[in-house]
């Protein structure tokens, strides 16, 4: 059984189906995963002209179904990994039993909760500089956050963009000292200390600027407007791993821990792949690679079990 879709889940399904493992996939609330919210994907091998996220995910789904994957609509809401046969409940009622389970539930980017983030989704709002920074070459952008991820994204974008505003809620960076010093010394990065985002502006669904508030709730509070073409969120991700917490080990954020170099969790027959276990790269191509690993690990587990 494969829980979740996206590059990791679909790749696991392709490999598992071709190995005659009779995979059943439940796609979850967002079939295709985070990439279905991406307008253009240009860094995935095999698409020289680029491809939209939804089209790419539909291609992967068709390929998985071609080899016999049983793709179903539904969301895993509860699991029991205490026995030799693993149990998964779908939508709180339907029970599925499987000898092996591949978890590919992904991670959800954290947003500020502004309506404008939804309004300009795909039109300048992004949670992945590595994925979308290329589209803002020579332009002005803003990054929200004060940790290592925000500092890394700001420096990455600084190599592509004309100017990068780093919007920091506090008067210090939470990033490590090394990362903080690097971003401070990057000439085209301007750190906006003690600023918070109030909203975004633009025409035709495309970001053209941001409304900020400096010193919110303090003396000297003022509104600040900046002109930008891209607005990048770098305030973290939340792995979709809550329902597995009673059975699997995770780090402090919630990423499922796997044995180094494998997709194996601490429970025999349960494997994890994609962004639910990857706190470092979070790319479609690395997710697909880990999906391949999970299917191969599952096949080897079943072969040894039944030999």
Average pLDDT (166-170) is 97
Nearest CA among 124, 140, 160 for reference residue 233: 124
Contact 113, 197 (CB under 8 A): no
Claim to verify: residue 229 and residue 262 sit in the same structural domain: no
Claim to verify: residue 265 and residue 280 sit in the same structural domain: yes
Claim to verify: residue 86 and residue 120 sit in the same structural domain: no
Domain assignment of residue 132, given as a range:
115-233
Active-site positions read 128, 131-132
Contact 45, 285 (CB under 8 A): yes
Claim to verify: residue 125 and residue 94 sit in the same structural domain: no
Question: CB neighbours of 80 closer than 8 A, spacing ≥ 6?
Answer: 86, 87, 88, 247
Claim to verify: residue 13 and residue 87 sit in the same structural domain: yes
Question: CB neighbours of 29 closer than 8 A, spacing ≥ 6?
Answer: 75
| Tens-place pLDDT, residues 260-285 | 999 999 999 999 999 999 998 889 99
CATH number at residue 265: 3.50.50.60
Instruction: Give the Cβ contact number of residue 156 at 10 Å.
Output: 16
Contact 41, 52 (CB under 8 A): yes
Claim to verify: residue 197 and residue 126 sit in the same structural domain: yes
Average pLDDT (279-307) is 95
Whole-number pLDDT of residue 149: 87
Claim to verify: residue 77 and residue 219 sit in the same structural domain: no
Claim to verify: residue 138 and residue 282 sit in the same structural domain: no
Average pLDDT (14-37) is 90
Residue 40 has pLDDT above 90, yes or no: no
| Domains held by the chain: number | 2
Claim to verify: residue 245 and residue 219 sit in the same structural domain: no
pTM (2 d.p.):
0.81
Claim to verify: residue 181 and residue 243 sit in the same structural domain: no
Residue 48 has pLDDT above 80, yes or no: yes
């Amino acid at each position: 059984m494969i829980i979740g879709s996206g590059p990791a889940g679909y790749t696991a399904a392709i490999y598992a189906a071709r190995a005659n493992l009779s995979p059943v996939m439940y796609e979850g609330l967002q079939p295709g995963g985070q990439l279905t919210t991406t307008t253009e994907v240009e860094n995935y091998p095999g698409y020289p002209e680029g491809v939209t996220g939804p089209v790419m995910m539909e291609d992967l789904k068709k390929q998985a179904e071609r080899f016999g994957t049983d793709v179903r609509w539904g969301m895993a809401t509860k699991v029991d990994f205490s026995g030799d046969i693993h149990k998964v409940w779908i939508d709180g009622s339907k029970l599925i039993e499987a000898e092996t389970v591949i978890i590919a539930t992904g991670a959800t980017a954290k947003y500020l909760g502004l309506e404008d983030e939804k309004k300009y989704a795909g039109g300048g709002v992004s949670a992945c500089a590595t994925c979308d920074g290329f589209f803002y070459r020579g332009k002005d952008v803003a990054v929200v956050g004060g940790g290592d991820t925000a500092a890394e994204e700001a420096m990455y974008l600084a190599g592509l963009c004309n100017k990068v505003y780093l919007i920091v809620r506090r008067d210090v960076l939470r990033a490590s000292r090394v990362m903080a010093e690097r971003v401070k010394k990057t000439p085209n990065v301007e750190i906006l200390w003690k600023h918070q985002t109030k909203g975004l502006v633009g025409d035709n669904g495309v970001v053209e600027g941001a409304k900020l508030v400096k010193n919110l709730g303090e003396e000297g509070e003022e509104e600040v407007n900046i002109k930008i073409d891209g607005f990048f969120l770098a305030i973290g991700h939340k792995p979709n791993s809550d329902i597995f917490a009673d059975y699997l080990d995770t780090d402090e954020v919630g990423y499922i821990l796997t044995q180094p170099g494998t997709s194996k969790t601490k429970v025999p027959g349960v494997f994890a792949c994609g962004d639910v276990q990857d706190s470092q790269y979070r790319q479609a191509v690395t997710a697909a690679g880990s999906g391949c690993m999970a299917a191969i690990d599952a096949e080897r587990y079943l072969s040894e079990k039944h030999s």
